Structure 1
């Protein structure tokens, strides 16, 4: 039986959600908190937190939410914006290849901002409500994004459709009625940032993936609809063109297509990074053994910043440089997220000596997955070629629970302290956890 998106939001309950979907969301919750923790150290995060503090403050007797790992209080719209920019400032958050983007970086901060204000008001909100709201946000966001990419020529950033997902989550949490919910989705879709993804790729700056405006657009849409503002319909959720993307809503879960990143750079670079990591290990190589390298991959990946990124924003959307980091250092983690990595001479040498090849076959098949292969040309005359690769972390090649946990602690422990990080992980693992305690752990200043 087909149900509308508004009916889905109105009727879905925790007990209706399959265990595998709940497991994905607990994994995404932990993973995104880890990314948020290290994200608070970036210039992007610090700038936008100050912007939210001065331009979107919480007024007397008005809605208020705490900023992630800050202790500062601003409006929920400001908290959603600052939180989204913070998570998006470290490109290590979850995503979905077919929708060409990322849900958690926008949905998570929007949901946390809404819930923090509801709890401040003394409203009854549980950990189950948190998980349901996140699942609604991801599911509605993913389907809106799939429809958008399937019916619109331009390649939009994740902010365009996470706005709709955030509004859906907000409609659930604010207990909007059917008409208010419908208008919230329409407002969010209309006001959401239809920003151009390839501009972000060709000219990397602090704009990132659009979620910095997508999250607050979704939050504000829910609040506006609650007050009676109208905006329906959301054309990515209603009408004949949208119908194929929603026919099995509530029966099949797009949430289960969520993938997780092993490295804090654009996922388009990951298959080549995985390939060079394995070639180096399997053949006992060090970077000085490499004369040059070749990466065959899909078209979009070859448009990532080429060989000499000048800023950390450019490094995030690079291919040859993070590939070279893995060849030289054997890892891409917090130690490699320092600006000094941009002056690493050996990394610069390998990057400059790496050719990027736009492969038509990989372009044709890089729809649900991202493909690449790597050839290393060694100083001793040998040529070592990898198999065709897709990134680790896809649903059919997942990171293990231990790898997700290790990644969380790698990103969070040195920032917020190992004890606090372990408390967060332990809470999320509980079936019914203390929600106010979790929010205190992820909003208090470290």
Structure 2
């Protein structure tokens, strides 16, 4: 496949020609960790209303219409249905991983698509890992090439850029040539969709599910000889032309000389990443000897401009909206000392103590702030104050690799155990972290069934 001046060609060739033996050991470990995290949050998200609605809308029932597992259920379905539903579940709690460069939740579209395809193809764990990384690295470079204007224009990168990642991953798993890989990207370009206006609603997790399904379809039609416009990705009126105000081709020409997957952030809190610094600040304030939540009169937060309109919902009316309300999130963290799944329920939303404290939060926007920082100042009765700054990026950077793996392992067990039993969660943790040794991916997916279906 000749370059012809197309900056996308080096990236396509790098993705199509990636082989497991090319992968550094630490990159394989990070990929396995990301897959474990994604499956865990999807299992916990399998009973969320949005996931159940998607199952009903697609008319997937317990009779099973295909061989692909709908995670956390006894049901199987077609690859397209499984990618849609599992992708939605993976983003339903907003607890899935995040890429700081592009802003994409990178694994929620890719993992459900590639695991569904792998079940049908009988792929091994090493093949899945290689396909995942081909999709991730391509996805992130495309996302960086149109950042930040793509996001600023109102597009949800997980829904848009995630479609490309899923397409490349499934195409790689299917043995695509560079030309077929290029076609998969071109088809993905015309299906990529997702609006930030959906944040705080069921539309946001649906973006991940639709990206997974659209990417899978893009790869499949490419493998069967589909013809797509050469201009649909980078050309006039193509994706980057219509979805950004400028493009940096440097990211497209680099190949995989730098493994961007190493920069993945695993969430510690079940809310929008833009709220995580505020949560960190709240937990720091709670550690002070003089902390007294009952006497807080006012909370002043300095937040970065990028958070405005994303996670600044003033009075959330639903659990999904609460995840995008810095005021609610910091109030909840101050009251409960946590920001996990249990802090985002209908009962938590109606908590008078949290609601009352949230009304005392005052937001101040600062243009000079890094996008992952928050400064908090609490004023207590009598005028006493306490101040703290937190940066979600700095918190992550301070963790050693071992702590990060332990964090993912513990998070998976906590999220998966109520669904599939503790024993099975413990076993799957080892199986997925050691995915490179798995001869058939169904050895993993057949275990993703509810605790009542013990085998």
2:377 to 371, 375, 378: 375
RMSD: 2.5
- Is 1:404 aligned with 2:408? yes
For 2:312 and 2:324, how far apart are their aligned partners in 1? Answer: 6
Unaligned runs of 5+ in 1: 120-124
Q: Secondary structure at the match of 1:372?
A: strand
For 1:255 and 1:14, how far apart are their aligned partners in 2? Answer: 15
Tell me the residue number matched to 2:31.
Answer: 25
Tell me the residue number matched to 2:3.
Answer: none
Task: Please report how far the alpha carbon of residue 395 of structure 1 lies from its aligned counterpart in structure 2 after TM superposition.
Answer: 4.6
Task: Please report how far the alpha carbon of residue 379 of structure 1 lies from its aligned counterpart in structure 2 after TM superposition.
Answer: 1.6
Q: How does 1:38-57 map to 2 (within 5 A)?
A: 38-54=44-60
Unaligned runs of 5+ in 2: 1-6
Q: Secondary structure at the match of 2:313?
A: coil
Task: Please report how far the alpha carbon of residue 208 of structure 1 lies from its aligned counterpart in structure 2 after TM superposition.
Answer: 0.6
For 2:340 and 2:64, how far apart are their aligned partners in 1? Answer: 36
Q: Deviations over 1:80-130 (max 9, x none)?
A: 1111111110111101122122111111111111111112xxxxx211011
Tell me the residue number matched to 2:172.
Answer: 172
8 A contact 2:313–2:324 mirrored in 1: no
8 A contact 1:274–1:391 mirrored in 2: no
For 1:54 and 1:393, how far apart are their aligned partners in 2? Answer: 41
Q: Deviations over 1:263-300 (max 9, x none)?
A: 00001000011011011113352421312111100123
Task: Please report how far the alpha carbon of residue 391 of structure 1 lies from its aligned counterpart in structure 2 after TM superposition.
Answer: 4.5
Residues matched between the structures, number: 428
1:138 to 126, 136, 139: 136
Tell me the residue number matched to 1:87.
Answer: 90
Tell me the residue number matched to 1:385.
Answer: 387
Distance 1:299 1:75, change over 3 A: same
Q: Secondary structure at the match of 1:308?
A: coil
For 1:390 and 1:336, how far apart are their aligned partners in 2? Answer: 19
8 A contact 1:154–1:196 mirrored in 2: no
Q: How does 1:307-386 map to 2 (within 5 A)?
A: 307-362=314-369, 365-366=370-371, 370-386=372-388
Task: Please report how far the alpha carbon of residue 390 of structure 1 lies from its aligned counterpart in structure 2 after TM superposition.
Answer: 3.1
8 A contact 1:143–1:245 mirrored in 2: yes
Task: Please report how far the alpha carbon of residue 341 of structure 1 lies from its aligned counterpart in structure 2 after TM superposition.
Answer: 0.5
Q: How does 1:428-443 map to 2 (within 5 A)?
A: 428-430=432-434, 431-434=436-439, 435-442=441-448
For 2:390 and 2:341, how far apart are their aligned partners in 1? Answer: 28
1:420 to 414, 418, 424: 424
Q: Secondary structure at the match of 2:59?
A: helix
Q: Secondary structure at the match of 1:83?
A: helix
For 1:396 and 1:188, how far apart are their aligned partners in 2? Answer: 37
8 A contact 1:95–1:103 mirrored in 2: yes
Q: Secondary structure at the match of 2:71?
A: coil
For 1:338 and 1:34, how far apart are their aligned partners in 2? Answer: 18
8 A contact 1:110–1:216 mirrored in 2: yes
Tell me the residue number matched to 2:192.
Answer: 192
8 A contact 2:104–2:161 mirrored in 1: no
Q: Higher mean Cα deviation, 150-159 or 25-34? A: 150-159
Task: Please report how far the alpha carbon of residue 361 of structure 1 lies from its aligned counterpart in structure 2 after TM superposition.
Answer: 1.3
Q: Deviations over 1:185-233 (max 9, x none)?
A: 110111111x222x134xx210015222111110000111112112253
Distance 1:322 1:392, change over 3 A: farther
Q: Higher mean Cα deviation, 235-244 or 377-386? A: 235-244
Q: Deviations over 1:163-206 (max 9, x none)?
A: 1111101111111222221111110111111x222x134xx210
Tell me the residue number matched to 1:122.
Answer: none
Distance 1:285 1:43, change over 3 A: same
For 1:392 and 1:349, how far apart are their aligned partners in 2? Answer: 30
Tell me the residue number matched to 2:155.
Answer: 156
Distance 1:284 1:37, change over 3 A: farther
- Is 1:289 aligned with 2:295? yes
For 1:408 and 1:58, how far apart are their aligned partners in 2? Answer: 26
8 A contact 1:143–1:246 mirrored in 2: yes
Distance 1:283 1:413, change over 3 A: same
8 A contact 1:270–1:391 mirrored in 2: no
Task: Please report how far the alpha carbon of residue 436 of structure 1 lies from its aligned counterpart in structure 2 after TM superposition.
Answer: 2.2
For 1:7 and 1:226, how far apart are their aligned partners in 2? Answer: 16
Distance 1:129 1:232, change over 3 A: farther
Normalising by structure 2, report the TM-score: 0.88
